[in-house]
Amino acid sequence: MSRWSSCLTRINDGVVARGFEGRSAFGFAFTRLAPDGATATDLAAHLGITKQAASQLVDELVRKGYAERRPHPGDARARLVVLTELGWAYTRAAEEAALEAVQPWVELLGESEVRVLCDRLRRIAPYGPIRPTW
């Protein structure tokens, strides 16, 4: 298992330990849905999956209460998928779990070096896409 997948597993385990049902794909989807929502087509492009797979993921998120569909303000044919309050709570739990997951990096490199690393990563890919490598 690579360090990256191990980190993702620790984040997902931390989210589950905080009482949320989900899988790693949810976090990648939430990254695109926050803060203003997205269409299933936007989500498909962000995740590098088919529109059908994105629609199935959206169906699952809606069924679990993490997201809801709303009319798109700029396109009457499209539906905007937005996080619900439960979806935002899931996101906060994932952020807490992520901090715990990178703690070994902090212990190895020091907090200031990890901050520099994060800053450099944001400069390389400031808006993503942050997506899994399925």
Tell me, what's the pLDDT at 9?
87
pLDDT at residue 55, as a whole number:
96
The Cα–Cα gap between 93 and 28 comes to 14
pTM: 0.81
CA dist 95 → 33, 40, 42, 70, 77 (Å)? 15, 24, 23, 26, 34
* Higher per-residue confidence, 128 vs 44: 44
Residue bearing the bigger pLDDT, 122 or 132: 122
Strands, E, within 63-122: which ranges? 67-71, 79-83
Q: Tokens 């992520």 — which residue?
A: 98
Q: Mean pLDDT across the chain, nearest whole number?
A: 88
Query: For 1-134, where are the E strands, in sequence order?
Result: 67-71, 79-83
Residue 60 binned pLDDT confidence (cut-offs 50, 70, 90) = very high
Q: Which of 6-10, 34-38, 64-68, 92-96 has the lowest mean pLDDT?
A: 6-10
Q: What percent of the chain has pLDDT over 70?
A: 89
Other C-beta atoms closer than 10 Å to the C-beta of 119 total 10
